[in-house]
């Protein structure tokens, strides 16, 4: 799916754009979790948690053992 996005976009993302995509995904996940909890939507909560777990796994090398940026 990401490859289709890039094909439609017409170029690869810059490092700044890639970083922004990660930030926006994290913010969207947290927002979804908060909304899902408030509105008793467990599927939305789970989707947000899965996205955060994926982001953390993908970017673990850039984090220290405590989770702070290195």
Q: What's the CA gap between 34 and 69, in Å, rounded?
A: 24
Structure tokens at 8: 């439609």
CA atoms within 13 A on the CB side of 18: 10
pTM (whole model) above 0.95? no
- What is the rounded distance in angstroms from the CA atom of residue 37 to the CA atom of residue 40? 5
Q: Which pLDDT does position 64 carry in this prediction?
A: 58
Q: pLDDT digits over 2-45, tens only?
A: 899 889 989 999 999 999 999 999 999 999 999 999 999 999 99
Which position has the higher pLDDT, 15 or 68?
15
Q: Where are the domains of the chain?
A: 13-62
Residue 65 CB-density burial (10 A; 0-12 exposed, 13-18 middle, 19+ buried): exposed
């Amino acid at each position: 799916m990401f490859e289709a996005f890039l094909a439609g976009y017409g170029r690869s993302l810059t490092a700044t754009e890639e970083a922004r995509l990660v930030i926006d995904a994290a913010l969207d996940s947290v927002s979804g979790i908060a909304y899902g909890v408030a509105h008793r939507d467990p599927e939305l909560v789970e989707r947000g948690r899965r996205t955060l777990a994926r982001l953390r796994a993908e970017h673990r090398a850039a984090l220290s053992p405590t989770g702070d940026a290195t």
